[in-house]
């Protein structure tokens, strides 16, 4: 059994896979296995992997289960000490995995590690230096769009990693649970990070682990669908996870953040996806309430700690 498994969800991503897998072959860390979870691709992805990368294991799904469904299948179907999640549109530096594993080995209270994600096409531009939360509870990719001038070159605590390039302890999934299948895609990692933080697990940002991300490449041609999920899932993760005292105390801020987000989508011609996203969240309320009770019952940190993370 390999110490680490790298799980790569894929849906018709053949044009991205080659560079991603080639970069993993150049890793300085050797004790890992690569598993592709293919969401019913029809573009020849599986054939490419079989022909070019015969050591890569493929789990073929009969249809598209989204990011959450795919990685959950990969997590439950494999065994390892650490679990890395990686988007197929990411290229990783040779020391990427070694630096992530070292961070978990050296920090027993850390459950997940974020790397420095740079723009694939403009490699002096930051894509994300870990995810953080705003005062309203909205997720922010730290440093997104900034020029990389070394301002994020120190290890730091963050709210959580972007699941498009991250490393987790496997046992964290035993206590926190898997990613929420209901999200399908988008915000499932923030939802997981929130549950992780509520149980007292920390997340660490490691700038020495570097990768290059083609942000948005995997959803090209699905813009309206993506907007609908963004709106729905944003509402869902906040309703599920934010402690009630913070919800009431910051309710005006939270509502304003929702309205700003929806307004920007509507301005770009996405009124129907916004309406469908809100309606979708409303329909999920019974399920969200049930999950919220379970999540809050497992909270191990004071409300003030969560409030301090929302800055």
| pLDDT tens track for 181-227 | 999 999 999 999 999 999 999 999 999 999 999 986 555 556 899 99
pTM of the model: 0.95
Inter-residue contact 265 to 152 (CB < 8 Å)? no
pLDDT tier, 264 (very low <50, low <70, confident <90, very high otherwise): very high
User: Cα(70)–Cα(42) distance, rounded to whole angstroms?
Assistant: 16
Instruction: Render pLDDT for 1-24 as a digit per residue (tens, 0 to 9).
Output: 899 999 999 999 999 999 999 999
Measured in degrees and rounded to the nearest 5, phi and psi for residue 284 equal -85, 0
Q: What percent of the chain has pLDDT over 90?
A: 96
pLDDT of 261 reads 93
Ramachandran area for residue 256 (φ above 0: left; ψ -120 to 50: alpha; else beta): alpha
DSSP 8-class letter at 183: G
Inter-residue contact 155 to 207 (CB < 8 Å)? yes
Measured in degrees and rounded to the nearest 5, phi and psi for residue 64 equal -85, 110
Q: From the centroid of its chain, how far is CA 235?
A: 17
Inter-residue contact 172 to 150 (CB < 8 Å)? no
Q: From the centroid of its chain, how far is CA 162?
A: 4
**Biggest alpha carbon–alpha carbon distance for the chain:** 56
Inter-residue contact 15 to 217 (CB < 8 Å)? no
Token duo for residue 83: 């679990």
Inter-residue contact 132 to 142 (CB < 8 Å)? yes
Q: Once rounded to an integer, what is the mean pLDDT over residues 156-173?
A: 97
Closest alpha carbon to 48 in 16, 76, 71: 16
Residues 6+ apart with CB under 8 A from 89: 13, 16, 20, 120, 213, 214, 217, 218
Token duo for residue 304: 């003030």
What the chain holds in terms of domains, given with CATH numbers, is 4-217 (3.90.550.10), 223-309 (no CATH)
Token duo for residue 182: 């209901």
Instruction: Render pLDDT for 26-82 as a digit per residue (tens, 0 to 9).
Output: 999 999 999 999 999 999 999 999 999 999 999 999 999 999 999 999 999 999 999
pLDDT of 125 reads 97
Query: Cβ atoms within 10 A of the Cβ of 271, count?
Result: 13
Q: What percent of the chain has pLDDT over 70?
A: 98
Instruction: Render pLDDT for 72-108 as a digit per residue (tens, 0 to 9).
Output: 999 999 999 999 999 999 999 999 999 999 999 999 9
pLDDT tier, 311 (very low <50, low <70, confident <90, very high otherwise): confident
Token duo for residue 153: 């070159």
pLDDT of 173 reads 97
Token duo for residue 230: 């963004």
Measured in degrees and rounded to the nearest 5, phi and psi for residue 29 equal -90, 130
pLDDT of 220 reads 56
Inter-residue contact 173 to 223 (CB < 8 Å)? no
Instruction: Render pLDDT for 125-138 as a digit per residue (tens, 0 to 9).
Output: 999 999 999 999 99
């Amino acid at each position: 059994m390999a110490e680490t498994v790298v799980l790569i969800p894929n849906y018709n991503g053949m044009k991205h896979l080659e560079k991603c897998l080639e970069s993993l072959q150049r890793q300085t860390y050797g004790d890992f296995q690569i598993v592709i979870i293919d969401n019913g691709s029809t573009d020849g992805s599986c054939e490419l992997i079989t022909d070019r990368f015969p050591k890569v294991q493929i789990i073929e799904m009969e249809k598209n289960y989204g990011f959450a469904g795919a990685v959950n299948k990969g997590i439950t179907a494999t065994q390892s000490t650490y679990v890395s999640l990686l988007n197929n549109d990411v290229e990783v530096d040779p020391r990427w995995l070694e630096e992530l594993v070292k961070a978990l080995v050296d920090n027993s209270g850390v459950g997940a590690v974020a790397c420095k994600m740079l723009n694939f096409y403009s490699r002096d531009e930051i894509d994300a230096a870990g995810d953080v939360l705003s005062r309203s509870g909205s997720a922010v990719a730290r440093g997104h769009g900034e020029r990389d001038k070394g301002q994020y070159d120190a290890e730091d605590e963050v709210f959580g990693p972007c699941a498009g390039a991250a490393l987790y302890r496997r046992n964290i999934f035993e206590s926190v649970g898997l990613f929420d299948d209901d999200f399908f895609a988008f915000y499932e990692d923030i939802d997981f990070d929130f549950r992780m933080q509520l149980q007292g697990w920390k997340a660490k940002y490691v700038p020495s682990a570097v990768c290059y991300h083609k942000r948005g490449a995997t959803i090209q041609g699905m813009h309206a669908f993506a907007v609908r999920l963004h709106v729905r899932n944003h509402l869902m993760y906040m309703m599920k996870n934010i402690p009630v005292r913070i919800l009431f105390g910051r309710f005006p801020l939270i509502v304003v953040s929702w309205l700003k987000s929806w307004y920007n989508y509507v301005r770009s011609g996405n009124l129907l996806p916004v309406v469908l996203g809100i309606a979708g969240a409303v329909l999920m309320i019974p399920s969200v309430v049930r999950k919220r009770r379970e999540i809050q019952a497992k909270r191990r940190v004071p409300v003030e700690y969560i409030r301090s993370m929302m800055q």
